């Protein structure tokens, strides 16, 4: 396939040469950490309660290593083919249909993720703000979720998403990373503020809701019907593959090894924060932990200023993640519809505006957007993390099939198919049961 067929005007035709001006190693790591970490961290203590400490830690480590390996395959294919975008890898492997499928998958995944994050802002931010107000201000415009959502998108999300390069978000990613570290530290510290057996403070009277001392003993391994959600949940935790190549293109002194180090550092930092948050959240509430650990802190420490602050900081981190997810979605749209045009600020502005309008409308008006995204995300996330890297490497690499990379790619392909179908089956089964 000719070079001109593979490369559109929207993607860089080659990486900057070593020594060129680009985004620093540190900012690249922070941008990738921001792309990795999201609202899924709130449910990790609940997942650990249904898998046990060692079971959870082992599975989280395996998924982190697989995510790092799939990125390694993507970077290897970029080196072999000289393309620098996920969409172009699909084009190089399977022609125009491959490019359209990859671009469509990225758009669906990222629009769904951004809409879900905005829904969290709409529903949780008014409560977080009201906790800092001394009286009853219900009915005020600044406690209306839809109004706050529109203001945040106009004032914060849209201007940040309008930036021409993803590297410019390094400063906001640094702030988001600080908020996530603060979240993890508060969970560690508050472990000693909530006694076990758990007691609930209601109207200055304390009610013990857990009597058995066995309820305060951590389990190393534990399996229940809820354990089936563990692997699908963990796959979502390390989904950052749509941001890998845009960050790679802007990396200072770019090379496959340097970008792999960026990825490994970002995944390691995310793994550490995930593990600490899950472990100490679980050791605080044990089997009584909720699927959203912040709800438990609000229940057992209802007047704690630090808990209120960390809730607000977490929502700020979610807000700052949305523009970063916006970049790959806009790039996919441009490569699908404007790949034969040179860069235009008019196209850039209009597509950014259109995407922001779409995600706001989805967050406000689409009923059960989380369930919709759960069904779609179970397929798109596993495709982007496992299926596409494995499939493309098997197609493009000239190595022997028994080489360790090709065998690993085959394992990723099979695992991605199994996890995606299993996740979809579990979600549909739960829908049927709930109805």
Q: List phi, psi (to 5°) of 15.
A: -70, 150
208 pairs with which residues across the strands? 199
Q: What's the token pair of residue 422?
A: 């299993």
What integer pLDDT is reported at residue 232 of this predicted model?
72
Q: How many CA atoms lie within 13 A of 60 on its CB side?
A: 26
Question: Looking at domain 3-434, which of 1.10.10.10, 3.90.930.60, 1.20.1740.10, 3.90.1150.10 is its CATH number?
Answer: 1.20.1740.10
Contact call for residues 240 and 12 (beta carbons, < 8 A): no
CA separation for the pair 119, 123 (Å, rounded): 6
DSSP reduced 3-state for 268: helix
Q: Which helix (H) or strand (E) holds 95?
A: helix 86-130
Contact call for residues 309 and 316 (beta carbons, < 8 A): no
State yes or no: cis peptide before 197, omega within 30 of 0: yes
* Rounded average pLDDT per 10-residue block, the chain, 435 residues: 39 44 87 88 88 91 92 90 87 90 91 88 88 76 87 94 88 92 93 76 49 70 74 80 89 89 94 94 87 84 87 92 92 84 84 93 76 70 90 87 87 87 76 68
What integer pLDDT is reported at residue 19 of this predicted model?
44
CA separation for the pair 96, 418 (Å, rounded): 26
262: number of Cβ within 10 Å: 26
Instruction: Please enumerate in sequence order all residues whose Cβ is within 8 A of that of 195, keeping only pairs 6 or more positions apart, or say none.
Output: none
In angstroms, what CA-CA distances link 380 with 88, 110, 112, 331, 392?
Answer: 18, 9, 10, 17, 16
CA separation for the pair 80, 74 (Å, rounded): 10
CA separation for the pair 351, 337 (Å, rounded): 11
Q: List phi, psi (to 5°) of 133.
A: -90, 140
Is 214 exposed, middle or buried (CB count within 10 Å of its CB: 0-12, 13-18, 19+)?
exposed
CA separation for the pair 74, 92 (Å, rounded): 13
Q: List phi, psi (to 5°) of 251.
A: -65, 140
CA separation for the pair 192, 42 (Å, rounded): 19
Domain boundaries, the chain: 3-434
Contact call for residues 85 and 271 (beta carbons, < 8 A): no
Per-residue pLDDT tens digits for 209-249: 554 556 678 888 888 766 666 777 787 788 888 889 889 98
Residue 400 Ramachandran class (φ > 0 left, ψ -120 to 50 alpha, else beta): beta
Q: What's the token pair of residue 166?
A: 């993803």
CA separation for the pair 383, 371 (Å, rounded): 19
259: number of Cβ within 10 Å: 25
CA separation for the pair 416, 51 (Å, rounded): 21
What integer pLDDT is reported at residue 405 of this predicted model?
87
């Amino acid at each position: 396939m000719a070079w001109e067929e593979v490369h559109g005007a929207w993607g860089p035709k080659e990486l900057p040469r070593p020594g060129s001006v680009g985004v620093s190693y540190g900012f690249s790591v922070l941008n990738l950490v921001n792309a990795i970490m999201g609202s899924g961290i709130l449910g990790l203590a609940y997942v650990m309660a249904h898998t046990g400490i060692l079971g959870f830690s082992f599975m989280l480590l395996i998924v982190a290593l697989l995510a790092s390996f799939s990125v390694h395959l993507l970077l290897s294919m970029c080196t072999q083919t000289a393309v620098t975008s996920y969409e172009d890898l699909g084009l190089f492997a399977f022609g125009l249909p491959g490019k359209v499928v990859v671009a469509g998958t990225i758009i669906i995944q990222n629009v769904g993720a951004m809409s879900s994050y905005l829904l969290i802002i709409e529903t949780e931010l008014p409560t977080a703000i009201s906790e800092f107000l001394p009286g009853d201000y219900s009915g005020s415009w600044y406690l209306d979720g839809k109004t706050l959502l529109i203001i945040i998108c106009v004032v914060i999300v849209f201007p940040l998403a309008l930036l021409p390069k993803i590297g410019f978000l390094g400063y906001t990613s640094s702030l988001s990373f600080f908020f996530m570290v603060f979240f993890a530290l508060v969970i560690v510290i508050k472990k000693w503020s909530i006694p076990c057996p758990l007691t609930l403070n209601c109207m200055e009277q304390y009610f013990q809701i857990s009597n058995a001392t066995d309820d305060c003993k951590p389990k190393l391994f534990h399996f229940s019907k809820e354990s089936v959600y563990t692997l699908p949940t963990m796959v979502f935790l390390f989904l950052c593959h749509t941001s890998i190549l845009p960050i790679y293109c802007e990396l200072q002194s770019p090379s496959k090894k340097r970008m792999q180090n960026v990825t490994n550092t970002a995944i390691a930092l995310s793994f550490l924060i995930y593990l600490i948050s899950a472990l100490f959240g679980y050791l605080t509430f044990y089997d009584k932990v909720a699927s959203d650990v912040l709800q438990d802190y609000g229940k057992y420490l209802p007047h704690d200023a630090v808990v209120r602050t960390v809730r607000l900081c977490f929502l700020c981190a979610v807000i700052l993640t949305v523009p970063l997810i916006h970049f790959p979605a806009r790039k996919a749209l441009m490569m699908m519809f404007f790949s034969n045009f040179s860069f235009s600020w008019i196209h850039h502005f209009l597509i950014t505006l259109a995407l922001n309008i779409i995600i706001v409308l989805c967050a406000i008006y689409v009923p059960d957007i989380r369930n919709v995204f759960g069904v779609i995300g179970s397929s798109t996330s596993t495709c982007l993390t496992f299926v596409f890297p494995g499939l493309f490497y098997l197609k493009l690499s000239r190595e022997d099939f028994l080489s360790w990379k090709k065998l690993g790619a085959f394992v990723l392909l099979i695992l991605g198919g199994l996890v995606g179908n299993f996740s979809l089956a579990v979600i549909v089964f739960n829908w049927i049961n709930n109805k």
